[in-house]
Amino acid sequence: MAKLPPLSLYIHIPWCVQKCPYCDFNSHALKDEVPHDDYVAHLLHDLDDDIAYVQGREVATIFIGGGTPSLLSGAAMQQLLDGVRERLRLAEDAEITMEANPGTVEADRFVDYQRAGVNRISIGVQSFSEPKLQRLGRIHGPEEAKRAARLAAGLGLRSFNLDLMHGLPDQTPEEALADLRQAIELNPPHLSWYQLTIEPNTLFGSRPPVLPDDDALWSIFEQGHKLLTEAGYRQYETSAYAKPGYQCQHNLNYWRFGDYLGIGCGAHGKVTFPDGRILRTAKTRHPRGYMQGNYRDRQHEVENVDKPFEFFMNRFRLLEPAPRREFTLYTGLMESVVRPQIDEAIARGYLTETAEQWQITEHGKLFLNSLLELFLAE
């Protein structure tokens, strides 16, 4: 029998001022006003439909993503989080994160969000270079980004994060590192620092820009990693760095193969049952259909043969050791099912093993895809 993992809640706000050319998230450029009250009412009805999946657990983290959640009014955020608290038992120290765009951030609204219960803000900076921001289709400038970060720092929140990209169109290593130095100077407790990738079904996908070559990307990563480490940040996930004690608990629950309810347009969920079944859910992507009350788009049970890949695909993104007992606890499968693949991974130098845990090696990090392919179903 599987043990029920910790439970989180993800809430999706689908609107943006404009769609960025690199973005493949479920976001929709705003044509009129955000339907604040109506959308919140639908989110809470959606949550009502999923309430049976809670199975008595308290919710440890909430993440409000988008789109641009900071387009939602302070009053709507209050109504939303009050409604969530009426329906779910939140942990006393629950981490409640909201994504924000510097171009939509106002001081009084940040205070309203905090009053509603948000205690961690993730600010989508991406770059401090005006030309690069314009190339990325961002609606904010460098000074707005710095102002938003200082505002978050002054609010006395539990934490705040800056999202920063590197490997941007025509970006030199010097430009990428200048961006990172400016982010470090703002002293966020958490920094998400990730490489731009070109995704299909985006504007960049149909008209790809010129990106730095592999040698330049490696140089940016090596020097940037050194800068972050010297500034007191520790890498704990592929693209996440934090000061000690400031890791994003919501994301840790994802990577540790925890459960999460997903409400809102296009939101995904994962639910484990006492008999070991794992259900994945996906909500209706387009606001038009969603706001007609058609919340659930599809769902499927994860086959036993797919569970090892799904478990390790998440677990090995984290640099912390993976407790061996959690494989059986969270998948309902015996370790013997993956013993040949684990032995192969150890033989190739991807993993080390003790009686209690598996640890991905530096070599394993470099060949993460090859490591994960070992666990793919035939």
Domain ranges of the chain: 7-253, 321-378
> Which pLDDT does position 288 carry in this prediction?
93
Locate 95 and state its tokens: 């981490």
| Sheet bearing 7-13, strands edge to edge | 234-237, 240-242, 190-195, 159-166, 120-126, 90-100, 59-66, 7-13, 259-264, 268-272, 278-283, 296-301
What is the sign, positive or negative, of the torsion defined by CA atoms of 378, 312, 259, 15? negative
Overall fold of domain 7-253: TIM Barrel (3.20.20)
CB atoms within 10 A of CB 376: 12
Average pLDDT over residues 225-229: 97
> Which pLDDT does position 210 carry in this prediction?
77
Q: DSSP secondary structure string, 288-332?
A: HHHTTT--EEEEEEPPGGGHHHHHHHHHTTBSS-EEHHHHHHHH-
Q: In angstroms, rounded to a whole number, what is the distance separating the alpha carbons of residues 120 and 62?
A: 10
H-helix segments, the chain: 36-50, 74-87, 107-116, 130-135, 142-154, 173-185, 203-206, 214-230, 249-255, 287-290, 307-315, 324-331, 339-347, 362-366, 368-373
> pLDDT tens for residues 233-280?
999 998 999 999 999 999 999 999 999 999 999 999 999 999 999 999
Q: At what angle do helices 214-230 and 173-185 cross, to 10 degrees?
A: 20
Q: C-alpha angle 373/205/165, rounded to 5°?
A: 75
**How many alpha carbons lie under 13 Å from residue 337 in its C-beta half-sphere?**
18
> Which pLDDT does position 106 carry in this prediction?
62
Q: In angstroms, rounded to a whole number, what is the distance separating the alpha carbons of residues 316 and 280?
A: 20
Count the residues in the chain.
378
Q: Taking 60 as the threshold, does the pLDDT of residue 2 lie above it? A: no
Buried b / exposed e along 252-288 (16+ C-beta atoms within 10 A): bbbbbbbbbbbbbbbbebbbbbeebebeebebbbebe
Locate 23 and state its tokens: 């973005």
Which residues make beta-bridge pairs with 192?
163, 240
> pLDDT tens for residues 141-155?
889 999 999 999 999
> pLDDT tens for residues 292-307?
999 999 999 999 999 9
> pLDDT tens for residues 90-143?
999 999 999 998 876 665 688 999 999 999 999 999 999 998 888 877 888 889
Q: C-alpha angle 124/73/154, rounded to 5°?
A: 55
